[in-house]
């Protein structure tokens, strides 16, 4: 049995940023991590030629203040990411490939899309991202799917189809399975500019590699990190809490900071925390996805006028974007994951390369390497990002992201919509709460 001030569960960006702040404030803290590496949903691998391939979280936007602040503190550098690259988007429709994100739409579709976006922007401005439950129409907005709402606005089938293609590329759930309130809340958190915009959410990246943020923090935390240590039980009490691991090791402490994704968290037995708090946590769900990275020698698609961003109406991939010189990232969205997981590794590579060939031409069929990261099946993630189906925001309720001291909760799942920002923001927030409660 060990005795520490604070036990942090999970060494993703949330747990690491919480533990780092606690350690810097002088607390005796230990981080218990199931995997044998830090970072959770940020992970990278180095190629023989020195390039890093990001297998998880990759890009951020200028409103991601907590993440940007941390990156600066760690002495890392932000640089522009893919939206600033030259060239056109590619759209692979069921009828064939077109160049230009909106080139396949009729004038009426484009006008309808713009009108719906304006209505969405106005509505998003009425939602408080920190408290969407207080919106006078919260219940109705949550019960509506984005697709239903678009049709209520008179959006043309082409305009709805364009939003669906965008959701597939993000590996979010279909417009028909996404709560309107959750989408409004998400965009409200980024300034309510309109529908999801890559310039707002994804135009920056850490030059030294996204996963380097986690590696740096783990390095700083040094002996406080315990890898290969899955937590199975947490007993919480104001007079002293206890965390038990899969091997039966026990850590007695005065506070517990839980930074686990909502899936694996359900397998941890938790006692001594208010049942409403636990029910709210258990009610959250993930959108399940996988990531595929295609490694080429150079960004040859640029010579074809393509920017490396593509949208797929058919097949298994939802979309691609250029990660860095010669490397394309792709996501397999929840809607298509069953087909992906049902296919043998050899065949799935053949299949996704055929899809890439449709989008980019023959050269796409010959990558130097292809990486598959099946996050949905990973027992320590069981997902990708939080998914909010119609009704979920109200069902999870205002306890979302709140603490029940001495049990503190953080993680990207505890912010409005996931993201590395959510992890760092809630991690540092949890550390502040622990410290302010003495």
Ligand X SMILES: Cc1cc2nc3c(=O)[nH]c(=O)nc-3n(C[C@H](O)[C@H](O)[C@H](O)COP(=O)(O)OP(=O)(O)OC[C@H]3O[C@@H](n4cnc5c(N)ncnc54)[C@H](O)[C@@H]3O)c2cc1C
Q: Give contact residues for ligand X (rule: CB under 6 A).
A: 9-15, 32-35, 40-42, 56-60, 230-231, 259-261, 264, 268, 291, 375, 380-381, 384-385, 411-412, 418-423
Return the number of the residue (116 or 410) whose C-beta is nearest ligand X.
410
Least distance (Å) from ligand X to the CB of residue 265?
Answer: 7
- Map residue 99 onto helix, strand or coil: strand
Return the number of the residue (139 or 349) whose C-beta is nearest ligand X.
349
Least distance (Å) from ligand X to the CB of residue 373?
Answer: 6
Least distance (Å) from ligand X to the CB of residue 413?
Answer: 6
Return the number of the residue (160 or 217) whose C-beta is nearest ligand X.
217
Least distance (Å) from ligand X to the CB of residue 42?
Answer: 5
Q: Which two structure tokens, joined as six digits, stand for 276? A: 């409403």
The whole-angstrom separation of Cα 362 and Cα 368 is 14
Return the number of the residue (11 or 116) whose C-beta is nearest ligand X.
11
Return the number of the residue (97 or 283) whose C-beta is nearest ligand X.
283
Least distance (Å) from ligand X to the CB of residue 150?
Answer: 25
Q: Cβ of 89: how many Cβ atoms within 10 Å?
A: 20
Least distance (Å) from ligand X to the CB of residue 273?
Answer: 16
Return the number of the residue (146 or 430) whose C-beta is nearest ligand X.
430
Q: Which residues contact 104 (CB under 8 A, 6 or more apart)?
A: 91, 93, 98
The whole-angstrom separation of Cα 99 and Cα 87 is 10
Cis peptide upstream of residue 406 (ω within 30 degrees of 0): yes
Element (H, E) at 147: helix 146-152
Return the number of the residue (113 or 195) whose C-beta is nearest ligand X.
195
Strand ranges inside 248-318, DSSP E: 250-253, 255-258, 269-271, 285-288, 290-295, 306-312
Least distance (Å) from ligand X to the CB of residue 171?
Answer: 7
- CA dist 54 → 59, 115, 189, 291, 324 (Å): 10, 36, 25, 10, 10
- CA dist 152 → 116, 126, 148, 193, 248 (Å): 10, 19, 6, 21, 55
The whole-angstrom separation of Cα 5 and Cα 25 is 12
């Amino acid at each position: 049995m060990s005795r520490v001030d604070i036990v942090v569960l999970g060494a993703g960006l949330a747990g690491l940023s919480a533990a780092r702040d606690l350690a810097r404030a002088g607390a005796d803290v230990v981080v218990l991590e199931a995997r044998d590496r830090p970072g959770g949903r940020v992970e990278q691998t180095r190629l023989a030629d020195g390039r890093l391939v990001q297998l998880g979280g990759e890009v951020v936007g200028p409103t991601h203040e907590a993440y940007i602040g941390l990156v600066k503190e760690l002495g890392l550098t932000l640089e522009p990411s893919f939206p600033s690259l030259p060239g056109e988007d590619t759209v692979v429709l069921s009828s064939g490939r077109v160049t230009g994100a909106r080139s396949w739409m009729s004038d009426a579709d484009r006008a309808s899309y713009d009108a719906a976006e304006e209505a969405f922007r106005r509505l998003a401005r009425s939602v408080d991202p920190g408290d969407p439950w207080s919106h006078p129409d919260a219940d109705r907005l949550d019960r509506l799917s984005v697709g239903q709402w678009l049709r209520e606005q008179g959006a043309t089938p082409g305009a709805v189809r364009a939003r669906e293609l965008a959701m597939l590329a993000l590996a979010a759930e279909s417009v028909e399975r996404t709560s309107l309130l959750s989408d409004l809340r998400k965009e409200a958190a980024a300034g309510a500019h309109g529908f999801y915009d890559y310039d707002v959410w994804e135009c920056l990246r850490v030059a030294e590699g996204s996963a380097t943020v986690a590696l740096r923090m783990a390095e700083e935390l040094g002996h406080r990190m315990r890898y290969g240590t899955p937590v199975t039980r947490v007993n919480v009490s104001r007079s002293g809490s206890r965390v038990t691991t899969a091997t039966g090791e026990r850590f007695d402490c005065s506070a517990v900071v839980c930074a686990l994704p909502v899936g694996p968290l359900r397998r941890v037995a938790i006692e001594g925390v208010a049942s409403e708090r636990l029910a709210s946590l258990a009610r959250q769900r993930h959108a399940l996805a996988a990531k595929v990275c295609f490694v080429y020698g150079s960004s040859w698609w640029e010579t074809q006028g393509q920017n490396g961003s593509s949208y797929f109406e058919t097949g298994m991939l939802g979309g691609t974007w250029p990660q860095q010189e010669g490397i394309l990232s792709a996501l397999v969205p929840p809607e298509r994951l069953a087909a992906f997981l049902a296919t043998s590794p050899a065949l799935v590579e053949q299949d996704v390369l055929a899809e890439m060939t449709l989008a980019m031409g023959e050269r796409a069929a010959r990558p130097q390497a292809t990486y598959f990261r099946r996050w949905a099946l990973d027992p320590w993630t069981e997902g990708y990002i939080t998914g909010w189906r119609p009704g979920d925001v109200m069902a999870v309720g205002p306890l979302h992201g709140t603490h029940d001291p001495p049990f503190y909760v953080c993680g990207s799942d505890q912010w409005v919509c996931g993201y590395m920002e959510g992890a760092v923001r809630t991690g540092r927030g949890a550390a502040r709460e622990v410290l302010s409660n003495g």
